[in-house]
Structure 1
Amino acid sequence: MDNRIDAIYGRQSIDKKDSISIESQFEFCRYELKGGEGKEYKDKGYSGKNIDRPDFQRLLGDIKAGLIKRVVVYKLDRISRSIVDFVKLMEIFKQYNVEFVSCTEKFDTSTPMGRAMLNICIVFAQLERESIQMRVTDAFYSRCAKGYYMRGRAAYGFDLEPIVMDGIKTKKLVENAEMDYVEMMFEMYGEPETSYGDITRYFTTQDILVYGKTLKRGFLGQLLRNPVYVQADMDIYEYFKAQGVKIESPPELFTGDYSCYLYQGREGEEPILVIAPHKGRIPSALWLAVQHKLSQNTTFQNGRKCHNTWLAGKIKCGCCGYALTSQNAANGVTYLHCKQRSENKGCQGAGTLTKQVLEQAVYAEMVKKMRVFQTLKGGKTESYNPKLTAARAALAKTESEIEKLLDTLSGANPTLLQYANSRIEELDGQRQVQAKLVADLTANSVSSSQVESISGYLRDWESVDFDDKRRVLDTLVSQVRATSEQVVIHWKL
């Protein structure tokens, strides 16, 4: 015999004219019980957004104690307005063999039809909830695309100022005195020899606080990556375009007069870049140089910890392209071996190659390269990079050809359509390669100050420390393919 009892639950958020009182709810529930008695649980003044309510928790405790056989409510939303919570509650009811009845909606989980109707109700409630979320999300990204300020706290170095854009009230960023410190961070990190630690130590010794606290490396790293500080010109446009970012603002707005916002895209979609209504402080050349250095930071750390040559991470077997690893011999010589040959004999190897000989060969080629580069650069401006100019021209030509082919697709015959689609696919592959090259070259542009710094290091190479040698190598070289017979260097310049 089942000695468990029925439970009646009622909830009322606040007293108002159009809300049904808990007593009225109980009357409906007693009628459903057809004269039977039920233990009453009630929560007055509590929202249905969650189940953190005193008497409801008491009801759950009694259910888990095996005292309740059926829960009766006036309406489904008296239990919870959260679909997630409601589904969890239904699992609890099922676990403890407790039936659930909603008087006005005629749900009775003791019957198959009642269970089916309850599931249908849950599905439609979830659909409505997701539709509301989608509308909110669409509204958010619509405002993002128009350049409205959609963040919370202003980025360091800025205050928020109310403005009206297209008849909509929003805010824009306005520089404050702290922006001088932001500029200092970018300028210091833009120097090849300066690290996070150098900057944080300088700020500490100078008693410069950030939001009232000492500057931390994590905060510094986030700040240096934020494009909200940059003067958004065509270099910035090309850089983010090559990264696959969705750029909402047209190219003609990237004049350097204003900065930009980078918003995270919807789930599964690319980020969004838009021109912002505030002015940037950091020149694009400096901002891009900092991004390049940031992207190489992990390489420096790994090289310092794991290798004993400043060529580590760059040197590859000239035969198969696998990495070269070092091994110290008893005679004091460090030999370089093909990793693939060492592991599975899958390569004939790089021959007899030593670290000392390869380092000297690469150093000599870097000296020659910088001598030629300085001669060619001459009186050009710091931002000039012939490879970047050529890459941009090639990319523009490819994109133009793709657009022309797309125009021919409308009304084309099957033969022409097949050719156009095939050619577009081929060109799109080229476009992706060219776009990546433009991004790399934009970030890797070497300024006159960097050229002078690198030349200084090369002139005094024997006294330059390990980390600075790695930085010079990384600025100039993308890869070194070597054997005992030949050394091929792939330059970034």
Structure 2
Amino acid sequence: MIAALYARYSSDSQRAESIVAQIRAGREYCRRKGYHIIKEYADEAYTGTNDNRPAYREMLRDAAAGLFEVVIFHKVDRNGRNEFDYYKNKQELARHNVRVEYSGQAFDSTSPEGALMENQLVGLAAYYSRNLSREVKKGLKENVLAGKITGGRPLFGYSVDKNKKYVINEEEAVAVRYIFERYAAGASYIDILREINARGYRTRRGAEFGKATLHDMLNNRRYIGTCILGKNQPYLDGRRNSHRPDHDGMIIVPNGCPAIISPDLFQAVHERMQENRRRGGRRTAKYPYLLSGLVYCGECGASMSGTRTRTRKKEIREYYRCCQKSNHGDAKCPNRYIYAPALENFIIERLAAVIDNESLLFRLAQKVQEKYDALVGNARVQIAALQEQEAKANKSLERLYEVIADGDTFDDFDRAQMKHLKQKILDIRAQREKLEQQPGKTISSAEIVHYIRDRFLPAIRQRTVSGLTELLQYFVHTVTVFRDKIRVEYWFASCRYSSERTT
């Protein structure tokens, strides 16, 4: 029987030597059973509370490909410490006719008694993990109550003393107070960031401050001395959200660390933030931004996103702006905003001119037809070649299986060859399936012209958002906005054509 070994250790008082011991036990187990090991998998420093482990996922993929017939773990807890994941993955392996056995625990899960033993071991493994988590959380809770750090880098504005307690970093605290005071006084994010970065302050990662960092700082209650544990506690489905509202699983400790700012200043900041949210809600009508994902800044290379501003006459206008400029101001990018409707209409009118022009559209259709015919003809040739390659690989694999069945010597070279052949067959099948999904019938230039006009002319004439979005996504490759010109690259028959317009 062809077997695979899997080993794992987590970071709870285990070392890499644990992998070696598990693999050794698995090899000895296979020698006694007469199994032929084709592959060994190992995950180092990965928890068993979920199955999101690289080698484990690779093992499941190889099982689905039929690479082996049985997978050997050392013990149940090396397979997993979560009941749902354990039985879900065991069922998946069973669907591919792969058995699960354990070198360090002798039970037969196919018998009633063995299944009962397996259930108990899985439950114990899950209990161990959850109990360990509970004990760890107890220690973290005590650290929070004592004003000690609970891991990770200390928040900007704080340092950690020899007793692992938070103390104010006076140099950074100056910047923290400046940020809160300036925002409460009405300054914008960009104005604050420009000053903070100019003074040489950097985040804990050594990067310049951006809007996201600033927003998180202004919402962090630690700056008024309140310590919080468990805000990022997962939901029942396992998802995490560090911005979720307060919940019962949180531990909130007022005066748990030294305060850098006053509660009144923190409240003033949040009143302004809430007012900004309410003001933004008054103009929530969505503008579609038809070129989203296609517009780039020609000055710094960053993408450009949609934004709305209010003019002096209190009119709301939509623009595309450089994301680098948005996050860090003019110091990072000197490019200007560009009026969104004008940019979109310019490109739509150019495309409409092509679709309305009989001669231009027919030439475009001819190019599409040439590409299409070449693709279809080439696909047929490639499919035939791949079928021949797959047949040869299958014959070679069958000969190796005959060697195993006859009991002849099956060495490491043979195992490597079998693995290579199976992977080759899977790759060939994937390529063939992809080619077979391509349409095989011929199509005329007239049909292409008819298709383009039927699909896109109504959208241009009626100005439907969905139709115009589809038109732009089909025909526009990129739009690059410079300070003095716009460059548009179009997709025409799998080729890129550029045009520029001076602004």
- TM-score bracket, normalised by the shorter chain, equals 0.3 to 0.5
The TM-score, its normalising length taken from structure 1, stands at 0.43
The TM-score, its normalising length taken from structure 2, stands at 0.43
